[in-house]
């Protein structure tokens, strides 16, 4: 597919801007507004001017005319790992402790994320704290990239799944020490590894849970007392149940989640980031991933079940966010974001429902609903522009032509 060049603008370079697009897309209403201009001051939307006429532009203001484009809120990925590249896991891990060799690949990941319209990403952590270090470089203006919400390292039991995500702890006391240390280092979120991962060899098999209910309760409460929300890596229904009971803030993965758990999540207002693409992408033929025929059948069954659960969750009123697990094996930063959107569409989401999940709901999941996720006065001017009507054809999002971040 022919792709047009992307124009990227940073809010920090412009104190005042007027964006005059062909249309503004309103994901809440699933419709396009024409003759609408967006007035931006210091990176915030200060006025949405309907029935706008270019003759009304006050002199001296910087105007960005985008007559062919439809403007939407910039996209949000609720689950990435900037420290990983989705291709060579072992090489990535080696770079974390090898000077600043990690920086170049991370730059590439950030660029691809911006190119795909992502202005905000929530990083699921890594043992090298690369995600957190990257966030700090971006915040200091030393690196170009989307805004990162970082959790530093993941918290899991020593000897269980996730040694690449964190140092491992052997008891709750150590977990609380690690939470203190992470808080001290400026994390936004905590990631707790409640379970192992889903098997591609044995259908429905998931790595064992790592914590008892009381351990998870204590850690979650400790985190909340420090003002840190908790994302729970929970790949099995057992892990999801533990997370719900402990009052975690988001359920990640949740393969094989039960109807009862989904109902409980809806009731308690705990959102779900179902990350379908890391499973679905195992079937891509053009990667290094080679699975046996049997494994491929298991992978297909696993992600198709996940699509059914997504639809079920939507019907129950569970808040669903877009998370790609970018950096995990076979998942490319930025590029595969659209693939996750497609999978939501395959699950039965309409284009406007997909867009809402990618913007407003994902903002809410990240705890940023007051700041981002929609085009409203007072919100940050994080915007993308695409050609065509995304409510009729989601494919227009494959080619983001404008980004304000």
Structure-derived torsion over alpha carbons of residues 365, 117, 122, 280, reported in degrees to the nearest 10: 90
Compare residues 124 and 334 and give the one whose CB is closer to Zn ion: 124
Residues in the chain: 405
Cβ closer to Zn ion: 22 or 124?
124
Contacts of 95-102 with CB under 8 Å at 24 or more apart are: 95/128, 96/126, 96/127, 96/128, 96/130, 97/128, 102/128, 102/130
Stretch of 119-127, 172-180, 343-351, 374-382 lying at the interface with Zn ion (CB under 5 A): 119-127
Contact pattern from residue 273 through residue 312 relative to Zn ion, giving x for each residue in contact according to CB under 5 A and a dash for the rest: ----------------------------------------
Asked whether position 325 contacts Zn ion by CB under 5 A, the answer is yes
Handedness of CA 227, 370, 364, 165 (dihedral sign): negative
Give the shortest CB-198-to-Zn ion separation in angstroms: 12
Applying CB under 5 A, among 27, 117, 124, 162 the residue interacting with Zn ion is 124
For 80, the 3-state DSSP assignment is: strand
Taking the C-alpha atoms of residue 106 and residue 111, their distance in angstroms, rounded to an integer, is: 9
Cβ closest to Zn ion, residue 77 vs residue 325: 325
Output 38 or 78, the one with its CB closest to Zn ion. Answer: 78
Dihedral, CA of residue 283, residue 286, residue 291 and residue 293, to nearest 10:
70
**Which segment (87-95, 285-293, 319-327, 390-398) binds Zn ion by CB under 5 A?**
319-327
Min dist CB 344 to Zn ion, Å, is 18
Smallest separation, CB 124 to Zn ion (Å): 4
> With CB under 5 A as the contact rule, which of the stretches 23-31, 109-117, 322-330, 354-362 interacts with Zn ion?
322-330
What is the closest distance, in whole angstroms, from the C-beta atom of residue 335 to Zn ion in the complex? 17
- CB-based contact 216:194 (threshold 8 Å): yes
**Judged by CB under 5 A, which stretch of 85-93, 120-128, 310-318, 381-389 contacts Zn ion?**
120-128
Can you list the positions of beta strands (E) in 225-375?
Answer: 230-234, 250-253, 272-273
Q: Of 124 and 156, which CB lies nearer to Zn ion in the complex structure?
A: 124
Shortest Cβ distance from residue 351 to Zn ion (Å)? 27
Residue labelled with tokens 């412009």? 14
**Among residues 287, 389, 402, 281, which one has the least CA distance to residue 338?**
281
Minimum CB separation of residue 126 from Zn ion in Å reads 9
- Give strand pairing partners of 49: 37
**Strand, helix or coil at 42?**
coil
Tell me how far, at minimum, the Cβ of 333 lies from Zn ion, in Å: 13
Query: Can you give the binding site for Zn ion, defined by CB under 5 A?
Result: 124, 325
């Amino acid at each position: 597919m022919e792709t047009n060049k992307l124009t990227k603008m940073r809010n920090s370079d412009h104190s005042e801007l007027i964006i005059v697009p062909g249309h503004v897309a309103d994901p809440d209403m699933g419709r396009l507004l024409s003759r609408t201009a967006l007035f931006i001051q210091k990176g915030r939307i200060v006025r949405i001017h309907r029935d706008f006429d270019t003759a009304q532009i006050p002199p001296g203001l910087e105007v960005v005319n985008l007559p062919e484009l439809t403007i939407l809120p910039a996209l949000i990925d609720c689950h990435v790992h900037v420290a990983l590249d989705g291709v060579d896991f072992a090489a990535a891990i080696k770079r974390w402790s090898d000077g600043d060799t990690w920086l170049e690949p991370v730059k590439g990941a950030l660029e691809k994320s911006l190119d795909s319209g992502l202005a905000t990403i929530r990083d699921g952590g890594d043992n090298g704290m690369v995600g957190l270090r990257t966030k700090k470089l971006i915040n200091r203006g030393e690196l170009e990239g989307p805004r990162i919400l970082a959790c530093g390292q993941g918290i899991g039991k020593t000897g269980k799944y996730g040694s690449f995500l964190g140092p491992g702890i052997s008891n709750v006391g150590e977990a609380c020490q690690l939470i203190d240390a992470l808080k001290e280092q400026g994390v936004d979120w905590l990631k707790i590894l409640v379970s192992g991962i889903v098997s591609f060899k044995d259908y429905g098999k998931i790595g064992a849970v790592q914590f008892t209910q009381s351990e998870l309760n204590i850690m979650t409460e400790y985190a909340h007392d420090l003002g840190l929300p908790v994302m729970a890596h929970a790949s099995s229904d057992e892990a999801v149940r533990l997370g719900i009971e402990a009052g975690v803030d988001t359920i990640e993965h949740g393969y094989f989640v039960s109807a009862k758990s989904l109902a409980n999540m809806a009731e308690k207002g705990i959102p779900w980031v179902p990350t379908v693409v890391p499973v679905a992408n195992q079937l891509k033929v053009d990667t290094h991933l080679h699975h046996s025929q049997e494994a491929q059948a298991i992978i297909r069954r696993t992600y198709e079940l996940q699509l059914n659960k997504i639809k079920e969750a939507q019907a129950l009123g569970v808040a669903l966010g877009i998370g790609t697990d970018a950096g995990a094996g076979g998942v490319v930063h930025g590029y595969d974001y659209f693939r996750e959107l497609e999978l939501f569409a395959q699950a039965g989401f309409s284009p406007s429902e997909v867009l809402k999940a990618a913007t407003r709901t994902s903002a809410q999941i990240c705890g940023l609903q007051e700041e981002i996720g929609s085009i409203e006065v007072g919100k940050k001017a994080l915007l993308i522009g695409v050609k065509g009507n995304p409510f009729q054809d989601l494919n227009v999002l494959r080619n983001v032509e404008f980004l304000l971040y």
